[in-house]
Structure 1
Amino acid sequence: MAVNHSEIKTSAVKASHRPLILTACMLSMFMAAVEVTIVATAMPTIIGDLGGFSLLGWVFAVYLLTQAITVPIYGRLADLYGCRKMFFIGTTLFLIGSVLCGFAPSLGWMIGFRALQGLGAGAITPIATTLIANVYGPQERAKAQGYLSSVWGVSAIVGPLMGAFIVSHFPWAVVFWVNVPIGLVAMAILIKYLPPDGQRKQHQLDLAGTACLTLSVAALLLALLQAEALGYWALALLAFAVLCGGLLVRQERKTPEPLFPLALWDSKVIIAGNIGGLIIGATMMGISAFLPTYVQGVLGGTPLQAGTTLALMSVGWPLASMFSSRMMQATSYRITAVTGALLLVAGSLALLLLSPSSGLWMARLAAFSIGAGMGLCNTTFIVSVQNSAEPAIRGIATASTLFTRMLGSAIGTAVLGATLNLNLEYRLPQVNDPVQQLMEKATRSAMDSGLLNQLTESVAASLHWVFIVSAAISVLAVAAGLLIPSGDRPHREAQRES
């Protein structure tokens, strides 16, 4: 097998430096992951200062949109021009966007600066994940990726607490500026300890394919994230996304250096990782978006109770991520992924046992089970893809898996949200926004018992159907795990990269 001299070899990085590089990558991942939750907590304060409530959704949508579009593009650029270089470019864009968000004079300007943040964040997650694959060998890679994956769970807990503390004691701009020291420390560590990218052959990015991908993903995500506001225009956007997707496939088949190299689709492991990413992304939204609604709206719980219930998913995720490396090496990728998928199914089925009279213990058990399943599945799919991909395409292979998970989250949000809305329209056609009425403490307290019981039972039944659809999606994760060839495990690839 030919040696790709442009890649960072594990032997080129001192063993004592690898934990420092891992720390830098974890810091950068935390910075990008926490951005959504920390800003969500601060938005009421920001809206109170800047106004523009009607644009609130775009503050989050534009960040996710630009991030999702650029993830696969940065993954390919990292393969062509080097991970180190692309990481610094992306992190710099993210930090500039963060600083500018703090100075935004209006919500319109903030949306523009959030788009710039997203353009940078699209590089951070896939390239940090790829860097770890480049500096750790196949056997160590699973453990390192487990630590990296756990950042998502930790950020989900820390983000809201951090946001609440900052807006209580400092100007809201600090919510964005707190990223700057974290990003600068991560960059400083990598400048000192990560070897420069080697000499690379001249390559040309597939600009036509990049344009088709950008238009297709932008149209798809806009249709999904803004379906209610767009109405029938969402169907036109979906048709445009399909058209651009078809043009992308045609372009990829004829170009000499495709954005998605054909070798990606020759590997059963990489295909399984992409399908798995799509499914677990959609499954995760069943609990992230709708379990807090059930706790507050149906069970009458407080925001704190809803938050602590959801936090158990964030506890299960890092614990399972760190355990996954041992399980992969002791058994196989397939067994680890399927075990994680079965935990997703078990947690999703537990949600079906919730009722207006049930306590919080079942909701919390479901949250922990789904979090553990996400930790096992997510880490296994990423590690198996990285270990099976040739070094020259490891960046785009990693990015494609992360991209499909983000795409799955958007699709899951749209499908499950539509399921809830259709059920509410069927059961409560004359009631305006029944979920909001139940979640507002003053409105709920003022209701007579008959109306309260009617709304509670109808919303519970509607959310029950959301959990049924979520459980059906989670079953597909088992099928994705079974696509991984039997017997493959990390130590099998050790000789290939030695």
Structure 2
Amino acid sequence: MSVDRRDVGFRSERGPILIALMLTTGLVAIESTILATAVPSIVKDIGGFSQFPWLFSIYLLAQAVSVPVYAKLSDVIGRKPILLFGIGIFLLGSILCGFAWSMPALIAFRAVQGLGAGAILPMSVTIAGDIYTVAERAKTQGYLASVWAVSSVVGPTLGGVFAEFSSWRWIFFINIPLCLLAAGMLMRTFHETIQHRKHKVDYLGATLLMLALSALLLAVLEGGQAWAWGSLQSIGIFSAGALLLIAFVFAERRAAEPVLPMWVFSRRVVLTSSLIGLGVGAIMLGLTSFVPTYLEGSLGVTPILGGLAVAALTIGWPISASQSGRLYLRIGFRATVLIGLAITVLGTVTLALTAATPAVVTVAVSCFVIGLGLGLVATPSMIAAQSSVEWDERGVVTGTNMFSRSIGSAVGVAIFGALANAIYALPGNTDHGPAAITSASSAVFVALAITAVATVAAAFYMPRTKPLGFDPEPATP
């Protein structure tokens, strides 16, 4: 594949592919934010107030457990068919959600959406890694990250508009033209040639992995909420998940083509990038989940203003991510990640120290600083892992990184939520007023700062390597 090195933007011959990838990323990004503002309208229409948290949990669960399976399959049959399949499943789930007649039905259809999202996001990032060199990837990842920045503003706004002036069902129906456009652009612009050979699909490993992760994530997400941590339900589900995970490890050792090869955890750069991904996921979703509640509960600001404060996070991210290439090409991946984590620690500590005196400006500035830091962490750490392997392993490596972020998000939010609930339920907080919300949120922000510091420790284990000798040309086969 010939490339024009002078232009990595939209005018190059790869530009239409990049636009298609941004559009597919937008499907998942908007869906992550558009639903929250419409929950009251949904509950008013079809009921199920006590069940509505599952709308978010089941989507996250389905997305997380399917990522490793899609990632391995993409290394076998190619990225394009997996991405198109994911768009198709996401489209089906969106249509079903739009016609949902009850909360249980809507929850089930959100799971279908999550299974589609599990293919869309990692495949978009992997394709970008295939068609761009190491020096170019930071800028292209910045473009992809900018989609999240736009979606963080557009999503809640659209959700509020549909819920107030039309119907909440259009939150899902709007995905129909977007999915068709994304699939059409991808089919027309992106072409890959795969050397077809006989493969043995690891059905047993894929099934065991999905069941194990489903059980463990279910136990973490619902522990302390639907049932007590020490209850028989909690112990039983944790035990079942652990046993299934052990069975999965044994199955992978015997599989001819394992869905999640054990070598992933033996390579230092891949292992450290995954550990960093855990921290990134926990910090990201911890902020987006608790900052709006903190501002709305302590200051009484509108949901839109609370959402805009979080949007500062996703504005800072693409700015630094797009420029990170200049850093890691000069000083290496590890040094760039450590600089980003230092900035992240600064932002989280500032947020924790000022939480007792709520102010929208302070929170927004802290989120912006954290976003700047994470942009120098997430992109270089992923590119470091991608650059350490060939094409036929890049899908697994990218998927492992994205999977780590999803697990970090799920586990982090569960832990932060348990901490907030514990503070909220203290005897002195029985009025459940602004003071209680401020105290609970302050505890969460301290936990976020501790998470950032722990991620620094993981980054110190990252190899001291510069991206020299890797990917002199784009790696599309």
Alignment partner, residue 229 of structure 1: 226
In structure 1, distance between residues paired with 2:314 and 2:60 = 20
User: Would you say the 8 A contact 1:166–1:175 is kept in 2?
Assistant: yes
What displacement does 1:494 show? 3.2
Alignment partner, residue 472 of structure 1: 450
Residues 355/129 of structure 1: CA separation in 2 closer, same or farther (3 Å cut): closer
In structure 2, distance between residues paired with 1:356 and 1:269 = 39
In the alignment, is residue 166 of structure 1 matched against residue 194 of structure 2?
Answer: no
Alignment partner, residue 316 of structure 1: 316
Alignment partner, residue 402 of structure 1: 402
Q: Deviations over 1:82-103 (max 9, x none)?
A: 1111111111111111122112
Residues 50/396 of structure 1: CA separation in 2 closer, same or farther (3 Å cut): same
User: Would you say the 8 A contact 1:145–1:383 is kept in 2?
Assistant: no
RMSD: 2.3
User: Would you say the 8 A contact 2:95–2:173 is kept in 1?
Assistant: yes
Q: Deviations over 1:184-203 (max 9, x none)?
A: 12211221121144232111
Question: What letter matches 1:54 in structure 2?
Answer: S
Q: Deviations over 1:287-306 (max 9, x none)?
A: 22222232232344443432
In structure 2, distance between residues paired with 1:54 and 1:461 = 25
Q: Deviations over 1:418-459 (max 9, x none)?
A: 212222333437x27x1xx44xxxxxxxxxxxxxxxxx1x54
In the alignment, is residue 193 of structure 1 matched against residue 182 of structure 2?
Answer: no
In structure 1, distance between residues paired with 2:227 and 2:185 = 45
What displacement does 1:410 show? 0.9
User: Would you say the 8 A contact 1:12–1:195 is kept in 2?
Assistant: no
SS at match of 2:471: helix
SS at match of 2:257: coil
What displacement does 1:322 show? 1.5
User: Would you say the 8 A contact 2:62–2:118 is kept in 1?
Assistant: yes
User: Would you say the 8 A contact 2:133–2:472 is kept in 1?
Assistant: no
User: Would you say the 8 A contact 1:149–1:378 is kept in 2?
Assistant: no
Structure 2 counterparts to residues 24-423 of structure 1, below 5 A: 24-227=20-223, 228-231=225-228, 232=231, 233-423=233-423
Alignment partner, residue 492 of structure 1: 469
Q: Percent identity?
A: 35
Structure 2 residue aligned with 1:460, among 425, 428, 438?
438
In structure 2, distance between residues paired with 1:252 and 1:262 = 7
Alignment partner, residue 428 of structure 1: 428
In structure 2, distance between residues paired with 1:468 and 1:212 = 36
Q: Deviations over 1:453-482 (max 9, x none)?
A: xxx1x5433333222222111112222322
Residues 27/423 of structure 1: CA separation in 2 closer, same or farther (3 Å cut): same
Q: Given the two structures, how large is their TM-score scaled by the length of structure 2? A: 0.92
In structure 1, distance between residues paired with 2:98 and 2:423 = 40
Question: What letter matches 2:451 in structure 1?
Answer: I
Q: What is the aligned residue count?
A: 467
User: Would you say the 8 A contact 1:341–1:478 is kept in 2?
Assistant: yes
What displacement does 1:12 show? 12
User: Would you say the 8 A contact 2:80–2:192 is kept in 1?
Assistant: yes
Residues 243/413 of structure 1: CA separation in 2 closer, same or farther (3 Å cut): same
In structure 2, distance between residues paired with 1:45 and 1:302 = 17
Alignment partner, residue 453 of structure 1: none
SS at match of 1:484: coil
Alignment partner, residue 4 of structure 1: none
Larger Rg belongs to: 1
Q: Given the two structures, how large is their TM-score scaled by the length of structure 1? A: 0.88
What displacement does 1:320 show? 1.6
Residues 44/425 of structure 1: CA separation in 2 closer, same or farther (3 Å cut): closer
Question: What letter matches 1:407 in structure 2?
Answer: I
Question: What letter matches 1:134 in structure 2?
Answer: D
SS at match of 1:483: coil
User: Would you say the 8 A contact 1:223–1:230 is kept in 2?
Assistant: no
In structure 1, distance between residues paired with 2:142 and 2:389 = 19
In structure 2, distance between residues paired with 1:41 and 1:304 = 9
In structure 1, distance between residues paired with 2:441 and 2:171 = 33
What displacement does 1:78 show? 0.6
SS at match of 1:494: coil
Question: What letter matches 1:289 in structure 2?
Answer: S
Question: What letter matches 1:308 in structure 2?
Answer: L
Question: What letter matches 2:151 in structure 1?
Answer: S
Residues 250/12 of structure 1: CA separation in 2 closer, same or farther (3 Å cut): farther
SS at match of 1:205: coil
Question: What letter matches 1:259 in structure 2?
Answer: V
SS at match of 2:101: coil
In structure 2, distance between residues paired with 1:370 and 1:328 = 19
User: Would you say the 8 A contact 2:133–2:471 is kept in 1?
Assistant: yes
What displacement does 1:286 show? 3.3
Q: Deviations over 1:185-227 (max 9, x none)?
A: 2211221121144232111121221122111110111112222
